[in-house]
Structure 1
Amino acid sequence: MKALFCSKFDLSTSSSRVSTGLFLLRLVTGIAFILHGAPKIASPFAWMPAEAGIPGFLQALAALAEFGGGIALVIGLLVPLASIGLILTMAVAVFFHAAKGDGFVQGYELALVYLVISLLLFLAGPGKFSLDHVIKKRCKK
């Protein structure tokens, strides 16, 4: 068993492998946030039902976090800042779905997954295949 794992599977966390994984995660998640946020940007102050009780200003912030944060994730620019907005937005979404009594599946499941991904990107950073990395390298020169 030891020979199988030691010789057949490269379990290293080399920079290129991790950065490739972070890039793919940012790309797919960013596109999903853009697609979720685009209709909200069209009507930023009133995309939630009135009975939700969320002020228009906060709805606009959530719409901006999803759409703008999605763009930031795709291009890898200001990823930690975008992640903070997405973490807060998804935490509120999880709370509201759970408080309404929505179940996990087809309730707060997707918001929770996006919350965890956003937290991961905040903690891990965007990886070397990002504009953040390019800017950081230029700042060191």
Structure 2
Amino acid sequence: MKNSYITNLNLRGVDLGLLIFRIGISALMLTHGVPKLIKFFGPEELTFGDPLGFGPEFTFTFAVLAEFVCAVFIIFGFLTRFAAIPLVITMAVAALIVHMPDGFGRQELPLLYFFGFLCIVFTGGGKYSLDFLISKRKK
């Protein structure tokens, strides 16, 4: 019996896995980013936490950019590693500061996003990304 599924590294499979992971985790993040984007442009007065002392406007703007703009960039694989960094920061703050008093039940989701986007920081977008197409054209 061939153990190719255990020992053989299939790069096409790795790149396809990265594509599925990238799109999946970022699409799920958009379910948090889109409501913030709507609120950002909406008529209501801004009320948002300020866990790091930068001011609620800056904190909310950073969250919108991370959870919407960066998530869209990652879906397309554009500036993938750089786009994942604000999401790592946002999710670390959410898990370790904002939801710390609430217990692990409220920390779990931001921690899952944190580790997922941290993996993307290290792996990049893979072969099926705009980053790959752009780097291929430059060569």
**TM-score (normalised: structure 2):** 0.85
1:33–1:70 CA contact under 8 A, matched in 2: yes
Question: 2:50, 2:75 → 1: CA distance?
Answer: 32
Amino acid at match of 2:120: L
The reply on whether 1:102 has 2:97 as its aligned counterpart is: no
Question: 1:123, 1:132 → 2: CA distance?
Answer: 14
SS of residue paired to 1:48: coil
Question: 2:125, 2:83 → 1: CA distance?
Answer: 11
In the alignment, which residue of structure 2 is the partner of 1:10? 5
In the alignment, which residue of structure 1 is the partner of 2:76? 75
Question: 1:122, 1:50 → 2: CA distance?
Answer: 25
1:125 positional shift: 1.0
In the alignment, which residue of structure 2 is the partner of 1:29? 25
| 1:32/1:139 CA distance change after superposition, 3 Å | same
Which of these residues, 20, 37, 43, is aligned with residue 41 of structure 1? 37
In the alignment, which residue of structure 2 is the partner of 1:111? 110
Question: 1:47, 1:21 → 2: CA distance?
Answer: 38
1:91 positional shift: 0.7
In the alignment, which residue of structure 2 is the partner of 1:57? 58
CA RMSD of the aligned region, Å?
2.2
Identity value in percent = 34
In the alignment, which residue of structure 2 is the partner of 1:121? 120
**TM-score (normalised: structure 1):** 0.84
How many residues align? The count is 132
**Structure 1 stretches of at least 4 aligned residues deviating more than 6 Å after TM superposition:** 50-53
| 1:51/1:33 CA distance change after superposition, 3 Å | closer
1:33–1:69 CA contact under 8 A, matched in 2: no
